[in-house]
Amino acid sequence: MALIEVEKLSKDFSILKRDPGLKGAIWSLVRRRYETVHAVSDVSFEIQRGELVGYIGPNGAGKSTTIKMLTGILIPTSGHLRVCDFVPYRERRHYTRNIGVVFGQRTQLWWDIPVIESFNLLQKVYKVSDNDYRRRLDEFKELLNLDEILDVPVRKLSLGQRMRCDLVASMLHNPQVLFLDEPSIGLDVVGKLRIREFLQRINRETGVTMILTTHDLREIEELCNRLIIVDHGRILYDGGIGGLRTKYAFDRHIIFQLSESHPSDGWQNDLDFNGSVRWETPDPLKVKASFRKESVNPAAVISSVMKHLSVHDITIEEPEIEQIIGMIYSQGKVKQ
């Protein structure tokens, strides 16, 4: 049985509509109009134990709402939801012992007390045995370089330091699932890298299942073996990153840098590949071939070009994951 089961999950909000201007404002004291917004509609997926899933989508796509439902903070409008054999919102206090949550935007630690005091308190809150607690804390301390910041109150930490402490706080009770809502938001390159390594390592060592929302697609590429793309509250794609490239069958480009300018025309006729390759000549010393990955063998294209033109250099361009996802987003919007 899957660790996380989500079936036809939906969440509607009603939003207060306010008329502009003073008149509207005074009217709103007496009469209010509400409008229903479908933040999440009909979302279904399953996640197995140990998976590392990226949950992405543009701002306002319904990611946070989904995470809030999965963590038991929000009750769904309709649909079925089961995590670690719990219905999160129904048995929340027992359920929360099984999960860890990290919000990049705000800390889960107590603002005024030193980090280590927060950890000690959490040990008691989650009833972690002294042995386990000490072992995990020592390990995390080393992995994340925490020695110097443990005695500092949270409000005095930098964003990166705070994030590292938040990660530790969420893992102290050895949860089965770790939810990460934009964990690297606002961090510098080093900070991001450190967190990425930490997540990879604990996923490998403890087998904790992770769900990660982020806008950083590099992070997704490096960390996740599965990707769920949402927009307007609906799932647009669910699968591996490799599969994304195949499914959306994007063009691959080969750019030839020539040592002498190509003949003005005629040479393409021999390189037609039954019309499946498009040719462009941005300047006299450059030729660009674009084709679909599955219909043409790139080696064949290269060798044919080499026969006809004197090639100085070759670059192969795969579409960036950003471009692919950008296209999915914009297509998703068109479908609406």
Partner 1 sequence: MFESIKLHVTLGALYLSKFLKTRLEYKADLMLGLVTGLLFQCITLVFIDVLFARQSLTIGGWNRGHVLFIYGFSIFPLNLFFAFFPNLYNVGSKYIIEGNFDRILLRPLNSLFQILMEEVDIESLIGLIIGGAIMYYASAELELVWSLWHMPVFCLMAISGMLIYGGVFTTVASFSFWWPDRIGLMAPLFNMMAFGKYPITIFNRFLQFILMWLIPFAFVAFFPATLFMGVESFYTHALAVPVVACVSMLVGMSAWTLGVRHYESTGS
Partner 2 sequence: MTGGECRAGSTGNAVMRWPVMATYIEYLRISFHKMLAYRISYLIGVFTYGIHVAVYYYLYKALYAETETINGYKVDDMLTYVAVGWICKSFYLNYIDRELTDDVQSGQVAMDLIKPIDFQAMYFSRGLGHSAFRLVLFTPPIVVLTVLLFSVNPPADAVHAVFFIFSTLMSVLIYLGINYIIGVLAIFFLSIRGVLYSKNLVIELLSGLLVPIDWFPDWFRTMSAFLPFQGIAYYPLAIYLGRIDGVELLQAVGFQALWVVIMIGVGRFIWMLCQKRILIQGG
Per rule CB under 8 A, is residue 335 in the interface with partner 1? no
Per rule CB under 8 A, is residue 72 in the interface with partner 1? yes
Nearest alpha carbon to residue 12 among 42, 46, 49: 42
Q: Could you tell me the smallest distance in angstroms from the CB atom of residue 252 to partner 2?
A: 47
In whole angstroms, give the CA distance from residue 324 to residue 330. Answer: 10
Q: Could you tell me the smallest distance in angstroms from the CB atom of residue 32 to partner 2?
A: 8
User: Judged by CB under 8 A, which stretch of 28-36, 163-171, 195-203, 256-264 contacts partner 2?
Assistant: 28-36
- Residue 29 site contact among partner 1, partner 2, none (CB < 5 to 8 Å, cut-off depends on kind): partner 2
HSE-up of residue 252 (Cα within 13 Å, Cβ side): 17
Where does the chain show beta strands of DSSP type E?
A: 4-17, 33-47, 52-56, 78-83, 99-103, 177-181, 209-213, 226-231, 234-239, 251-258, 277-283, 286-292, 311-317
Could you tell me how far CA 89 lies from the centroid of its own chain?
Answer: 24
**Interface size with partner 2, residues (CB under 8 A):** 7
Locate 298 and state its tokens.
């790139």
- Residue 209 site contact among partner 2, partner 1, none (CB < 5 to 8 Å, cut-off depends on kind): none
Q: Which of 50, 79, 153, 319 binds partner 1 (CB under 8 A)?
A: 153
Q: Could you tell me the smallest distance in angstroms from the CB atom of residue 43 to partner 1?
A: 16
Q: Closer to partner 2 by CB, 10 or 28: give it.
A: 28
Per rule CB under 8 A, is residue 25 in the interface with partner 2? yes
Nearest alpha carbon to residue 106 among 190, 38, 166, 19: 166
> Which residues of the chain form contacts with partner 1 (CB under 8 A)?
13-14, 65, 68, 71-75, 89, 92-94, 96-97, 99, 101, 103, 106, 108, 110, 112-113, 117, 121, 124-127, 153
